[in-house]
């Protein structure tokens, strides 16, 4: 059995290299720093559900551990002991022999209390361990940290190149105030489920296979009728999808959000934004709208952790409000 280990936020090209050939991915549901040092915990590219789906799309089963005080106290030896126990449980479910156990990891993989364990430690304890080299973009290693910085700087093309796909956001559609329609630009309004701090402003987007232009922000020109929190307002450049799409692809950051002196000035700028967004060719159906996941418990002994096991064949619909 081959197990890929890592946090895999973003499931980027480097992660995909680690996941290649793995039977199971072992990850954490929550980032370890969210427990150990919340003030230093990174803003995440993906929710747990999105990450699990992305890994499943690669044909790899997923198990997530809740990083808590117990896990934080595991010695490296204890981690490997539990890993072997989990492999026995996975073997029963997946009909894959648990032994020999093999690990695939990245160059910076550490485990156990204080990060005392590494690939050499695992090998010394009889587990074949392959360290997968970094994938690179523009001559530098790809990392989740680098992708987060690119996204939060509006560098969507670089982020997409490192992710291996365009960046997609999800949210909950709601009825707006009709202000866009009054200007001649009706919009689909979404409250985003977002861990990152995307720059406020105008984006070229695609949703449901249709090109669009979107403002992510508070619509400050609207004065007292502005949004209290940032909203993604999508105007379709072609006939809109029959149903509100579950996600939106951000294709390019066009400009920062700004307050205009009048609605007429805003209207003229929206027309220019639409023209610029149209330059990005046809929309590709790169958004996955069928996000599904199943939660199961899998254990190798009665005292093992409660793990989330994502089945490849049985799925339960996941709503925007689902929590894990």
Window from 13-27, 120-134, 215-229 with minimum mean pLDDT: 215-229
* Separation between Cα atoms, residue 193 and residue 27, nearest integer Å: 21
Instruction: State residue 244's pLDDT score.
Output: 86
- In CATH, what number does 2-143+290-317 get? 3.40.50.620
pLDDT at 4 over 80: yes
From the number of C-beta atoms within 10 Å of its C-beta (0-12, 13-18, 19+), residue 182 rates as exposed
On the 0-12 / 13-18 / 19+ scale of CB atoms within 10 A, 65 is: buried
Q: pLDDT at position 242, please?
A: 87
- The arithmetic mean of pLDDT across residues 152-169, rounded, is 97
CATH number given to 166-278: 2.40.30.30
What are the boundaries of each domain within the chain?
2-143+290-317, 166-278
Q: Looking at residues 198-204, what average pLDDT do you find?
A: 98
- Helix (H) or strand (E) holding 82, with range, is helix 76-94
pLDDT score of 110: 96
pTM of the model: 0.85
């Amino acid at each position: 059995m081959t197990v890929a280990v890592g946090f895999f936020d973003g499931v980027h090209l480097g992660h995909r290299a680690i996941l290649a050939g793995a039977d199971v991915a072992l990850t954490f549901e929550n980032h370890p720093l969210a427990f150990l040092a919340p003030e230093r915990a990174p803003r995440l590219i993906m929710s747990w559900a999105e990450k699990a789906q992305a890994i499943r799309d690669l044909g790899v089963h997923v198990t997530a551990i809740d990083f808590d005080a117990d896990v934080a106290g595991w010695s490296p030896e204890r981690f490997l002991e539990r890993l072997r126990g989990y492999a026995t449980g996975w073997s029963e479910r997946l009909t894959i022999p648990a032994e020999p156990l093999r690990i695939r990891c990245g160059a910076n993989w550490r485990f156990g209390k204080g990060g005392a364990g590494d690939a050499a430690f695992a090998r010394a304890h009889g587990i074949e361990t392959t360290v997968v080299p970094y994938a690179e973009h523009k001559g530098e290693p790809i990392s989740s940290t680098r992708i987060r910085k690119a996204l939060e700087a509006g560098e969507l093309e670089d982020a997409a190149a490192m992710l291996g796909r365009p960046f997609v956001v999800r949210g909950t559609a709601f009825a707006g105030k009709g202000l866009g329609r009054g200007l001649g630009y009706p919009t689909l309004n979404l409250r985003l489920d977002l861990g990152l701090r995307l720059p406020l402003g105008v984006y070229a987007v695609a949703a449901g296979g249709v090109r669009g232009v979107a403002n992510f922000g508070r619509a400050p020109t609207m004065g007292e009728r502005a949004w209290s929190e940032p909203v993604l307002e999508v105007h379709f450049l072609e006939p809109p999808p029959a149903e509100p799409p579950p996600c939106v692809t951000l294709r390019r950051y066009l400009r920062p959000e700004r307050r205009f002196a009048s609605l007429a000035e805003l209207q003229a700028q929206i027309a220019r934004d639409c023209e610029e967004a149209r330059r990005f060719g046809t929309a590709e159906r790169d958004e996955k709208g069928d996000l599904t996941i199943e939660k199961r418990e899998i254990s190798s002994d009665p005292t093992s952790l409660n793990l989330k096991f994502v089945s490849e064949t049985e799925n339960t619909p996941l709503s925007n409000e689902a929590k894990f």
